[in-house]
A and B are shown apart, each in its own frame.
Chain A
Amino acid sequence: MTSQTTSGAEYATERETTEGRVFTVTGGDWDSITGSIDPLSNEKIVVNMGPQHPSTHGVLRLVLELEGETVTQVRPVVGYLHTGIEKNLEYRNWTQGTTFVTRMDYLAPLFNETGYCLAVEKLLGITDDITERANTIRVLFMELNRISSHLVWIATTGMELGAISMMLYGFREREYILDIFEETTGLRMNHAYIRPGGVAQDVPDSAIRKIRDLLVYLPKKLKEYEAMLSGQVIWQERTQGVAVLDVTGCLSLGITGPVLRSAGLAWDLRKTMPYCGYEDYEFDVPTATTADVWGRYLVRMAEIRESLKLVEQALDKLKPGPVMIADKKIAWPAQLAVGVDGMGNSLEHVAKIMGQSMESLIHHFKLVTEGFRVPAGQVYVGIEHPRGELGVHAVSDGGTHPYRVHYRDPSFVNLQAIPAMAEGALLADVIAGGASLDPVMGGCDR
């Protein structure tokens, strides 16, 4: 049985259990722990890190077995943020699905939406009917989202490795991109902006101006980040040669995205299996050969620059036109208006369906309450998410609701690499290695 006593310092409590002595550490009191452990008889320590821990990137729990400061075994434990989104999707119509999936990986909502919409469109057989403007807007917003996601990566990784100012800078620049999203979709995150058949509404001119400003502003800031980090000895020591995972390891563990590219394989679905018209853009796939945290840092910084190139090209390609598919049996009203509380129906549209056309009203009612039917079948769509391959497996039984939607989220798959990266290394390298995977637990646990 257990008995609780206070040892040494006042906050580290210890109790005896059948499995040995258990300490509860709340921070800053490691001295009292290490002081009370007999180094000769207690060589092995099991440390439970997380799920509430500032360095685990969200509610990730790591059970670490240590010998001294060397990690001998890591067991990642996930599931603390499981919200049953896939189950919920089966109870809503196909269009409502975007509102759910956008909440999975909350740092890359527009990718979740695009993956889902591409799958629905493939099931409907309307992939080629999506208007050019809608596709260009999708590319434009996905690339902006990739930049904002990578900025959060550099910010949080900086913080976890001791560069606190990097966190402030990264979040500051990300805010600029979130402003663009808010201007267009009405929300900073969880947009439900990309819808089956197109996008919910057109990009306003004010947002285009902001994007143009960003293209000038961000490259300067990137140089500042590199000036701050790249030559920094601590940053180099904490990242170079740390958490190495080569191509073989990546492929067998299913790791894709910047981690795979940092090992030297230029596998990017935008190039290898293009979608949304990526084949018409000019950009490079940055790689590194070091396969360590440093390489992942270089790859992500280069990817932000490539994304800026893509954003610029997308802006140039943006020609006036419809943003929603012409087929009115699928197209939700896309002439929405952004109000103070987000996106809503435009007064113009409401006036038409309520005042002028009974058929429009009936059609609107049927489309919105019941939704459209999707022919039975299944598809798998993969897109290049900031963290790797985002796969959407969508199954329809011919009804107005998804029969099953499964997300192959890169965070979930990539987290399996933590033991391979961290076992045999130092405890501090677990933090660097885990951060370099850029896991987002909302996406991992869904």
Chain B
Amino acid sequence: MSVASTPEGAHLGSPAETPPSPDKGMFGIQGTGDVSGFGGLARPRVTEADTPRPFGGYFDEVYDALEEAYPGFADAIEKVVVDRGELTLHITPQRIAEVCQIMRNDESLRFELCSSVDAVDYLGSDSRRFHISYQLTSMTYRRRVRLEAAVAEGVALPSVTSIYPTADWQEREIYDMFGVVFAGHPNLTRILMPDDWEGHPQRKDYPLGGVPVEYKGAEIPPPDQRRVYQ
């Protein structure tokens, strides 16, 4: 026997019977309603201001020594930022290898060790989106300085591997993760991801998840699509 119409009293008006609203979720939330950050809350980047002199500490000495030792200083330095007790010299990308050479060799600078090279993707807040940071350490003077070079997508910058061979794998990692090309690197190939991987995972426009799992065909949706609070 088939029911022609819904029996009387079947509608209780309970919340469970209310169909999900396409534009409003539970508790009247609009949009993703996400406080965990998976939804990608966009926030404009605060531009770091040029720090006026004196910088304090050994920073003035480093700055003056570099100015004295490097003839192209005025063209190479874009900005000097002192923040949280750290000195950052923003360098024109094409000059980065020359500056590193001076930083390593000059007697009053002597940054013998390149501790780390890595990149940050400032997508949407800087037209030169990739900022490459070089953390230099002077063992002689026990000092640290950060050099920062910003490049736009598709623009190469000189490799520092001939000055600091330790940058070899770190530049490869940046190429792998961000797709930044270092001109003059002896073997710029992927290092952490498989050789045939498409895309550069650490870019801000590369999602977390949503990539088919190799061998199994399984897929995990990106975090902002995993759960919908309706």
Contacts and interface: CB of A to CB of B under 8 A. Distances in A.
Interface of A: 78-79, 82, 84, 86-88, 90-93, 122-123, 125, 251-256, 265, 267, 272-273, 369-370, 376-380, 382, 389, 391, 393, 395, 397-401, 403-404, 406, 408, 412-413, 415-416, 445-446
Contact of A389 (B115, B118, B167): B115
B84 A408 contact: no
6 contacts: A90-B208, A92-B37, A377-B83, A377-B84, A399-B41, A413-B166
A412 B177 CA distance: 15
A421 B116 CA distance: 22
B87 to A, nearest CB: 11
Contacts of A413: 166, 169-170
Nearest to A96: B36
A416 B169 contact: yes
A267 B139 contact: yes
Contact of B142 (A79, A84, A273, A380): A273
B142 A272 contact: yes
A91 B38 contact: yes
A251 B67 CA distance: 25
A397 B9 CA distance: 56
Interface string B21-36: 0000000000000011
B26 to A, nearest CB: 16
Q: Top 7 A-B pairs ranked by shortest CB distance?
A: A254-B166, A408-B116, A406-B118, A79-B192, A82-B192, A391-B116, A376-B46
Contacts, number: 124
A407 to B, nearest CB: 9
B86 A397 contact: no
A380 B116 contact: yes
Interface in B21-78: 35-38, 41, 43, 45-46, 48
A404 B131 CA distance: 12
Nearest to A413: B166
Contacts of A378: 83, 86, 88, 120, 133
Contact of B169 (A82, A252, A370, A412): A412
B223 interface: yes
Query: In this complex, which of B38, B112, B169 has the most chain A Cβ atoms within 10 angstroms of its Cβ?
Result: B169
Contact of B86 (A84, A91, A254, A379): A379
Contact of B208 (A91, A256, A273, A380): A91
B187 to A, nearest CB: 9
A339 B83 CA distance: 42
Nearest to B168: A416
Contacts of B41: 399
Contacts of B201: 84, 87
B112 A251 contact: yes
Contacts of A92: 36-37
B171 to A, nearest CB: 12
Contacts of B137: 382
Query: In this complex, which of A253, A393, A415 has the most chain B Cβ atoms within 10 angstroms of its Cβ?
Result: A393
Contacts of B108: none
Contacts of B146: 380
A93 B36 CA distance: 7
B208 A370 contact: no
B192 A398 contact: no
B35 A398 contact: no
Contacts of A78: 169, 191-192
Query: In this complex, which of A82, A125, A382 has the most chain B Cβ atoms within 10 angstroms of its Cβ?
Result: A82
Interface string B172-198: 010000000000000000111110000
A86 B202 contact: yes
Given A87-B202, A416-B166, A380 B135 contact: yes
A408 B118 contact: yes
B99 interface: no
Given A82-B193, A393-B116, A252 B165 contact: yes
Query: In this complex, which of A86, A93, A377, A446 has the most chain B Cβ atoms within 10 angstroms of its Cβ?
Result: A377
Nearest to B116: A408
Contacts of A397: 43, 45-46
B55 to A, nearest CB: 16
Given A90-B208, A267-B139, A413-B166, 16 more contacts: A78-B192, A82-B193, A84-B208, A88-B208, A92-B37, A93-B37, A122-B85, A123-B84, A272-B139, A272-B142, A369-B36, A370-B35, A378-B86, A380-B116, A382-B137, A403-B120
A91 to B, nearest CB: 5
A170 B38 CA distance: 43
A84 B88 CA distance: 27
Interface string B116-146: 1010110000000000010101010010101
Interface string B65-107: 0000000000000000001111010000000000000000000
B133 A254 contact: no
A380 B86 contact: yes
A398 B115 contact: no
Given A91-B38, A273-B142, A253 B86 contact: no
Nearest to B173: A412
A247 to B, nearest CB: 10
A79 B191 contact: yes
B150 interface: no
Nearest to A377: B83
A79 B133 CA distance: 22
B19 to A, nearest CB: 28
A379 B82 CA distance: 11
B115 A399 contact: no
Contacts of B220: none
Nearest to A395: B120
Contacts of B193: 79, 82
A78 B114 CA distance: 21
B113 interface: yes
B116 A406 contact: yes
B186 to A, nearest CB: 12
A408 B173 CA distance: 11
